Amino acid sequence: MSGPELEGASDRDLVAAVAEGSIEALRELSSRYGRMLTALAMRFLGSESDAEEVASDVLWQVWREARLFDASRGSVMAWLVMLGRSRSIDRLRAIKARSASAEPQIPVCPAADPASEVDRAERARMVRAALMNIDAQERMALELAYFSDLSHSEIAKKLGIPLGTAKTRIRSAMIKLREALLKTEK
């Protein structure tokens, strides 16, 4: 695959090409998801520079492990995000181990962003709209669970609510988000 072909290729095709040793395909994945991964890592780490480091870590891991990617187990994006989250948490823990100061931030609503690539931007818009329709307390619990390395009990403590309530809120937010996304996909 070359330039224009790569731009039109599906994420899965790109990962398959990376597994075959195509650096160009890896670069294309980087241009599709590098900034999303950086944004994700920033929610954990706060620092843009650390977050870019995590994003490139993830892409490097894709380079090494593309052959292990199993399309039947989920989308490329979900895989990247899973890697991004776990690399972010690793780094967060390393930072915490060095200084006790790194506190996860209480999440704010995700901001709007100018449309870039149509599909991803469209899906991003849908997710944001779906999030807006979820009760603020539930959304906060969900975002805290997702964008930090806190356990359920730590989340409960942070929000000043019982553990069972914290779990219920997170779960309920996930279910509502899923329903909203299913509805908009139809």
Q: Could you list the residues that contact other proteins (CB under 8 A)?
A: 19-23, 26-27, 30-31, 34-40, 42-43, 48, 51-53, 55-57, 59-60, 63-64, 67, 73-75, 77-78, 80-82, 84-86, 110-113, 116, 120, 123-124, 127-128, 131, 142-143, 145-147, 151-152, 167, 170-171, 174-175, 177-178, 181
C-alpha distances in Å from residue 171, one per residue of 9, 16, 119, 138, 168: 35, 34, 27, 9, 5
Q: With the C-alpha atoms ordered 170, 174, 175, 179, is the resulting torsion angle positive or negative?
A: positive
How far apart are CB 93 and other proteins at their closest, in Å? 14
Report in angstroms the alpha-carbon separations of 114 from 13, 53, 122.
27, 24, 11
Nearer to other proteins, 30 or 165 (CB): 30
Give 3-state DSSP helix, strand, coil % of the chain, rounded to 5.
75, 0, 25
Please report how close the Cβ of residue 92 comes to other proteins at its closest, in angstroms.
14
Contacts 24+ apart (CB under 8 A), 109-117: 109/139, 117/32
Which one, 85 or 91, has the nearer CB to other proteins?
A: 85
Q: How far is the CB of 83 from other proteins (least distance, A)?
A: 11
Minimum CB separation from other proteins for residue 97, in Å? 20
